[in-house]
Amino acid sequence: MKSFLGKRAVASAISLVGLVILVFFLSRLTGDPTDLFLPEHASQEARDKFRAIHGLDQPLIIQFFSYLGDLLRFDFGESVRRSEPAIDSVLRGFAWTLQLGAVTMSLVTVAAIVVGSLAAFHVGGFFDRVATFFSLIGASAPDFWIAIVAIVVFSVNLGWLPTSGTGTIWHWVMPVSVLFIRPFGLILQVVRGSMIAALNSAYVKTARAKGVRNRPIIFVHALRNALLPVITVLGDQTAAILNGAVVVETIFGFPGIGKLMIDSILQRDFNVILAAIMVTAFAIFLMNVLIDILYTVLDPRIRY
């Protein structure tokens, strides 16, 4: 396991360096932040001073190696817009996204496993057809459309929920609900398929022949072996949220890392963009390692 984790860490570090190089130079193609942060009538002296303070007066290649040197000291630079260390802005936004993702994926996991398992147990029945119908709709519905419809119905027409912010628990209802729908539809389908195969396996038939009740058969004998593909999809969907629920956070004004990245791209806050990408990539690396460990827990035959 240690050698496996070491190889994964090296591969992730190489990918991260490549990503930093790509984003660093592509972000510079968007233009000079001086044009955004200083008024149009600003003097040339003020512009030169701004560019010198933020190192923008240096040749691009010098800026790049200077940035790499700072990274080796865990210095992610300063946010031009907020006048604070870029990593502080990113960690603050990431904490919000992490909470949003944890709440959403916890609900998704429990609901998809329970509903998917029951649908598989009643395969072909009314419950299975209803669950499959709504899961397919949920898996194919675009987030931005659901978010807009939710705002129109629950905020504008009914006035039940706030449209943006994080002040109360009611501010979380629509962002969590919108992020819930797509992963729930996808994972329910995976659970259902895996459980159908598990329920038709020889060891489940043997348990039934021994008189084991339905609930232990579903949630103890069959579910454990059906979880491996489910964990893979769960990991992908969690990574999608951690990578920035960009659309949902932007529409609902949620101060997560997705909204932070969009704002930073629009405002050419290069250090925040790069710091956000690195923090997100590191979080996804840790999550993938956790998934690999879960594989070995669920199936002891798996060795790395």
pLDDT of amino acid 110? 92
Model pTM score = 0.82
Cα separation, 176 vs 173, whole angstroms:
5
Taking the alpha carbons of 181, 186, 189, 190 in that order, is the dihedral positive or negative? negative
Look up residue 278 and give its two tokens.
Answer: 């690195």
pLDDT of amino acid 302? 63
pLDDT of amino acid 153? 93
Check: CB of residue 275 under 8 Å from CB of residue 78. Answer: no
Cα separation, 22 vs 13, whole angstroms:
14
Q: Which residues of the chain have pLDDT under 50?
A: none
Question: What domains appear along the chain, each with residue ranges and CATH number?
Answer: 1-85 (no CATH), 87-298 (1.10.3720.10)
Residues in the chain, how many? 304
- List, in sequence order, the alpha helices (H) in 122-251: 126-140, 143-150, 170-199, 202-209, 214-216, 223-242, 246-251
pLDDT of amino acid 243? 66
Cα separation, 229 vs 112, whole angstroms:
13
pLDDT of amino acid 55? 81
Check: CB of residue 275 under 8 Å from CB of residue 76. Answer: yes
- Cα→Cα distances 236→30, 34, 54, 142, 221, Å: 30, 38, 37, 17, 25
Q: Which residue type occupies 179?
A: L
Instruction: Tally helices (H) and strands (E) across the chain.
Output: 14, 0
